[in-house]
């Protein structure tokens, strides 16, 4: 797995943070993020998330939101969704024959169905980043395992 797309709803909180947390741990991977919604296309990540991430050494300032498209199935080895609704919205766009798996991020900490809670609504940026960093660790450890 060399290229991974992280997907949430707005692409301004969870998926940009996930992208940066995995990049910090595995800079050799080709990573991107996108949102299933289009509200924030072209915008940088949400300032409170940028601030919380920066305090952990994660710089989100160069990232810009874009919307997930069906073409993304052909551009990435795997698509990682932050919650089940994201995964359903992604799957609804799957082209015939597209093989890239859609996985929930919490799978990498053995929590299967658990959502990465959306801090845009919960306002719990620290809890969200704790979970994202744990999932990022699990993902990268899995890739490095022989």
Catalytic residues: 8, 14, 118
- Binding marks (x or -) toward ligand 4NP, 8..27, rule CB under 6 A? xxxxxxx-------------
Alpha carbon distance 83, 102 (integer Å): 11
Scanning the structure block, which residue is given the tokens 């060399």?
A: 2
Handedness of CA 12, 130, 103, 120 (dihedral sign): negative
Shortest distance, CB of residue 118 to ligand 4NP, whole angstroms? 5
Interface with ligand 4NP: number of residues (CB under 6 A): 11
Task: Classify residue 90 by burial, with Cβ atoms within 10 Å: 0-12, 13-18, 19+.
Answer: buried
Task: Tell which one of 39, 55, 69, 70 touches ligand 4NP (CB under 6 A).
Answer: 39
Give the shortest CB-49-to-ligand 4NP separation in angstroms.
8
Residues that bind ligand 4NP (CB under 6 A): 8-14, 35, 39, 118, 120
């Amino acid at each position: 797995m060399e290229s991974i797309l992280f997907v949430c709803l707005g692409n301004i909180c969870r998926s940009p943070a996930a992208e940066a947390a995995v990049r910090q741990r595995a800079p050799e991977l080709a990573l991107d993020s996108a949102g299933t919604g289009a509200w924030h296309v072209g915008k940088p990540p949400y300032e409170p998330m940028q601030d919380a991430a920066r305090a952990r050494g994660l710089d989100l300032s160069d990232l810009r939101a874009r919307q997930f498209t069906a073409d993304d199935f052909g551009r990435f080895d795997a698509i990682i969704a932050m919650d089940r609704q994201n995964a359903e919205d992604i799957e609804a766009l799957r082209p015939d024959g597209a093989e890239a798996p859609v996985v929930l991020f919490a799978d990498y900490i053995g929590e299967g169905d658990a959502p990465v809670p959306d801090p845009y609504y919960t306002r719990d940026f620290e809890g969200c980043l704790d979970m994202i960093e744990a999932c990022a660790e699990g993902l990268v450890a899995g890739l490095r395992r022989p």
